[in-house]
Structure 1
Amino acid sequence: MSSADVSSRRPHVLVIAFPSQGHLLPLLDFTHLLSTRHRVHVTVAATPSSLPLLSAFLASTPLAAALPMPLPDPSAPEQAGQLAPGTHHALLAVPLSTLRRPLVSWARAQRDPPTAVLSDFFLGSAQHVADDLRVPRVVFYSSGAFATAVAEPLWNGSLPLDPNSPVVLGDLPGSPSIPYAHVPSMLKAYVPGDPDWELAREGFLLNSRAWGAVVNTFAAMEGDFLDHLKRRFGHGRVWAVGPVSASGCRARERPTAGTEELFSWLAACPARSVLYVCFGSMYKPPPAQAAALGAALEASGVRFIWAVSADVAVLPEGLEERARDRGRVVRGWAPQMEILQHDAVGAFVTHCGWNSTLEGVAAGVTLVTWPMKADQFIDARLVVDVHGAAVRAAEGESAVPDPRTLARVFADAVDGAELAGVRAKAATLAVAAAEAVEEGGSSWLDLERMVRELEAVAAA
């Protein structure tokens, strides 16, 4: 390659994906944005179970290519026996850490080798790939800045934690005290001395050595925590680029059978009158919890959409027939972003996974929080206590709230006068989210800054 070719070289980013939908979708959204707006070449290394989503991404991202990972995929159904039932999915990073040698070999064989590595924060072992190639690594945080600021020092601190004591984080904005039950579940699942967990922990520790960090958030929502991360990491290369779901990436598309009737029904509903209920595509509520939730929806009198897993056994018997005039049930995948952005939807009962939290915030609906695990308690705390744009419904996977109490929360979230202030704050936060990704907004500018840094590296 001539010196002229080197000096004008565009960045080429090797993207290493974690095979979990909640991690993969925002990473693909961001990669699509990076590539289509700034003509950055990307190669996405992914496991076989990711290929359906990756195919849709490639169709909408012309400068992208796929690199199938030469490893049986432990997240695929046929490989499920490789992980014991109940094993935390963070341990999927263990078999993926063995890809260091093949990825380095692939990169060195390319005529246009990668100039940077971008990987999910669960894949800290990608730091070794970047070190071997002598290129910078950018870590992508699919969780929020608050949750990242909570977890990062705990991985670097004394583990395991005392289950009888709260975790006090005096260095964080507001010096939050986190009850043990609300600590991100991967930290509580850590087993000292277990070889797999020690390797997983090493990966999280390696994230602090990354050259840069991208967070799927925006400054108006988490500015104080972003500033904290910059101080914690010791450099200014912490870029807030979210909400990345606004990028228009086709990776989120799914078959839409049955949705035509759903949106016809929504079109006939008054503005902001519908309560949308979804705890993520993988969660199946236990029978008692499902019964309480169904009874609360009926007693609330509000219009609702309840998205459940494909297993219809979780539904209270006869609910669909009794609530036919004012409710709909979606089985399996639901077009969540489209539902939330519909004018008829006014509130969202959510488990507070970060993707769902951001989608609800961007839509301007009132969030009704029911965190279950992972970083969801931290996300709920952010929208309820920090921003006042949400209300609590319940918490925990085993919670079975009183249906009458829950029904009042649902009704108030949609049109209760006492929650007018919450709805106003939710609307304000949605405006800030939209402004962040528009030209000249905080997330738009952060992406510009990141790309200039990558271009300087590529040209060096």
Structure 2
Amino acid sequence: MATTKGAHILVIPHTASGHIIPILDLTRHLLLRGMTISITLIPQHLPLLQPLLSAHPSSLHPLFLSPPKPTSISSKFPILNSFLASDDHLDQIVPWFRSHPSPPVAMISDFVLTWTHRLSQLLLMPRIIFSPMGSCGFSVFCTIWRDSPENVTGDENLTVGFKKIPHFPIYPWWQISRLYREYRRGDPDWDFFRSELLESLVSCWGLVINTFRELEGAYLDYLRKEMGFKRLWAVGPLLPEINSVDHLGQMGGPSSMPIHDVLTWLDKWQDSSVVYVCFGTHAVLTRKQKDALAIALEISGVRFIWCIRDQGAADGDLMVDEFKDRVGERGLVIKVWAPQAAILKHPAVGAFITHCGWNSTIEGINAGVRMIAWPIEFDQFINAKLLVEQLGVAVRACNGRDNVPDPNDLAQKLVQSLEEKGNGVKGGTSQRDLHELIKMLNEFGGC
């Protein structure tokens, strides 16, 4: 329960599910400590906010924004539309701010939203950026855009190394973020975006990141000392509340099975005897990959929950129906969305096949399950390398959009992962960082 009246803060999330869910949990922590929050969102995300609105009706205020019109750059590279925006968002927020009787004293905005740098200049407001990525992934992201490595040979297996980053990570070119690999030196649009991104990063007042020192301390030190983020708070793990999974599920769409039925099915099995399989909200397996995974699950004999989000085609539905008939009671197939946070925390779950998105990564670590890494894109390759080679809490299953695992090898890893106990990593410093962040924000408001 909040005991004091805190400062008024403007929170600006990026709309992608992997970004908005952790920043909503950060918002929850701020509200619980007495802060007033105005948060921008689009109407379709209102259900995600509903639990917080119900719990904090007088201190949480949604500010609905219309989608930005494409710019000349975002028309060429559509993924950049929400990053750069146009003047639309500024035209909506600035008048709201200037007419507000008690406007926000600081903003927390997603790090990819480069337009919030201009907003902070117009409003003369300190801007703290939020990274839903871990500090290892964020270190690589910042470094690659700053140092601009090139692949003049066009060889997708060309390796890129980062000597200054702890543990000197090396990746083949095809595992570097697609957003960066589409960059072409000399393209004026990309040169503009790069300068906008770097200016947005270096000009921020501080950085909040969804991790904790016990997990990624070396990378937090790198970001502070080498990348210049002098004010840095690691406040993770930011996790969806178990009792709000009904609302969080609306991000991925309706589930084919009620949450109660999923947990009741898990209650039937002994501890650490079930494998959970999920590839996040965006990653899509090819038919060959799904077939290999299905064979591995079938021949392994393990109990499992498989969340499949990419159904729709008739052959895909047929494949799932036939597979369910073959595995019978020991397998549960859920279409579209599953209550991941609740599943991972259930004692029956002992292993997790994951695409290694950071939210899934940190949920798996927090639950203490053994992970089987199958990264598909973006920072997932970085996270997988961290899990397997440095933390030792995962084994590799496969890599990339097109590679297909050997079903027999994968089946063996499924069995072995249930036999090995996961290594949970718990953070004790994140509460201290959160306290320091809130103290600093309140100082802006004179609280």
State if a TM-score over 0.5 links the two structures. yes
TM-score, scaled relative to structure 1: 0.86
In the alignment, which residue of structure 1 is the partner of 2:110? 120
Cα distance in 2 for residues equivalent to 1:91 and 1:304: 39
Q: How far off its partner does 1:58 sit?
A: 2.1
Please give the per-residue CA displacement for 1:344-374, whole angstroms capped at 9, x wherever unaligned.
0000000000000011111100010000000
Instruction: Give the counterpart letter for 1:277 in structure 2.
Output: V
1:214-225 equivalences under 5 Å are 214-225=208-219
Counterpart for residue 228 of structure 2: 234
Deviation at 1:265, TM superposition (A): 1.7
Please state whether the residue corresponding to 2:226 is helix, strand or coil: helix
Greater CA drift, 25-34 or 94-103: 94-103
The question of whether the paired residues in 2 share the 8 Å contact of 1:124 and 1:203 is answered with yes
Q: What code does the residue aligned with 2:27 have?
A: T
Cα distance in structure 2, aligned partners of 1:24 and 1:202 = 25
Determine the C-alpha separation between the residues in 2 that align with 1:388 and 1:222.
13
**Structure 1 residue 189: deviation in Å?**
2.7
CA-CA distance at 1:95 after TM superposition: 2.8
In structure 2, the residue corresponding to 1:459 is in which secondary structure?
A: coil
Aligned counterparts of 1:262 and 1:55: Cα–Cα separation in 2: 23
Cα root mean square deviation, aligned: 2.4
Gaps of 5+ in 2: none
Q: Which amino acid aligns with 2:55?
A: S
Deviates more, 1:317-326 or 1:294-303: 317-326
How far apart are 1:188 and its partner, in Å?
Answer: 1.5
Secondary structure, in 3 states, of the residue corresponding to 1:394? coil
Determine if the alignment matches structure 1 residue 173 to structure 2 residue 169.
no
Please give the residue correspondences for 1:322-401 in structure 2 after superposition, counting only pairs within 5 Å: 322-401=326-405
| Aligned with residue 35 of structure 2, among 36, 40, 60 | 40
Asked whether 1:145 is paired with 2:135, we answer yes
Gap change, CA 1:199 and 1:17, over 3 Å in 2: farther
Equivalent position to 1:60, from 50, 55, 58: 55
**Aligned pair count?**
426
CA distance in 2, matches of 1:9, 1:129: 26
Q: 1:287 maps to what in 2?
A: 287
Under a length normalisation based on structure 2, what TM-score does the superposition of the two structures give? Answer: 0.88
Deviation at 1:452, TM superposition (A): 1.3
The 2-side partners of 1:337 and 1:387 are apart by 21
Establish whether residue 451 from structure 1 lines up as the match of residue 444 from structure 2.
Answer: no
Which aligned pairs between 1:139-218 and structure 2 lie closer than 5 A?
Answer: 139-158=129-148, 160-162=150-152, 163-164=154-155, 165-192=158-185, 197-205=190-198, 206-218=200-212
Distance 1:194 1:104, change over 3 A: farther
Q: Give the residue type in structure 2 aligned to 1:364.
A: G
Mapped partners of 2:240, 2:403: distance in 1: 33
Indicate conservation of the 8 Å contact 1:90/1:122, yes or no: no
Displacement after TM superposition at 1:121 (Å): 1.1
One-letter code of the match for 1:366? R
316-325 or 153-162: bigger deviation = 153-162
User: What is the one-letter code of the residue matched to 1:280?
Assistant: G
Cα–Cα, structure 1 residues 383 and 83, in superposed 2: closer, same or farther, change >3 Å? same
| Residues 383-422 of structure 1 mapped to structure 2, 5 A cutoff | 383-415=387-419, 420=420
Q: What SS does the aligned partner of 1:399 have?
A: coil
Correspondence 1:84-99 to 2 at 5 A: 89-95=79-85, 98-99=88-89
Segment of structure 1 superposing worse, 153-162 or 174-183:
153-162
Q: Secondary structure at the match of 1:156?
A: helix
Contact residue 281 and residue 308 of structure 1 kept, 8 A: no
CA gap of 1:232–1:9, structure 2 versus 1, over 3 A, is: farther
> Percent same amino acid among aligned pairs?
35
**Bigger mean CA deviation after superposition, 321-330 or 365-374:** 321-330
SS of residue in 1 equivalent to 2:11:
strand
Q: State the 1:30 CA deviation.
A: 0.7
